[in-house]
Amino acid sequence: MHELGVVFHTLDTVKRIAEENNVKRVASITVEIGEVSTVIPDLFEDCWNWAVKKETVLKDAGVKIERIPALTYCEDCKKEYGTLEYGKVCPYCGSGRTYLLQGNEIIIKEIEAIE
């Protein structure tokens, strides 16, 4: 379960941002997780809820998770399509000359601070 490592990295990043902005307490964060990022949202949330109990600035901070759909681009026909539905082969022209546009990222979208 690498979600715990991702949570620890996210906690470190949020704590650094909070410190840089003189935030004393974080109420919640919003994280965007790509469909093919290999991070399972439910496990991320479970790890988050366990980890924030041991924090100070982030003590009991909530987490909201939004999904980023996986999209692939075809270099031959120049069209985008859903990666989960069709994989690496373009459903429009059958080409394998494709690459992932989005869907493998993990982004801290928002940090809600308490005054």
Structure tokens at 31: 């994280």
Q: Which of 59, 62, 3 is nearest to 29 (CA)?
A: 62
pLDDT in tens, 20-34: 999 999 999 999 999
d(CA 74, CA 91): 9
| pLDDT tier at 69, thresholds 50, 70, 90 | very high
Does residue 65 lie within any of the structural domains? yes
Does residue 90 lie within any of the structural domains? no
| Residue-level pLDDT at 6 | 96
Does residue 94 lie within any of the structural domains? no
Does residue 92 lie within any of the structural domains? no
DSSP assignment of 28-65 equals: EEEEEEETTSS--HHHHHHHHHHHGGG-STTTT-EEEE
Does residue 32 lie within any of the structural domains? yes
Does residue 76 lie within any of the structural domains? no
Does residue 61 lie within any of the structural domains? yes
The domain that holds 12 is classified in CATH as: 3.30.2320.50
Tell me which residue range forms the domain holding 59.
3-69+103-114
pLDDT in tens, 44-56: 999 999 999 989 9
Phi, psi of 79 (to 5 degrees): -110, 155
Does residue 107 lie within any of the structural domains? yes
Number of domains into which the chain is organized:
1
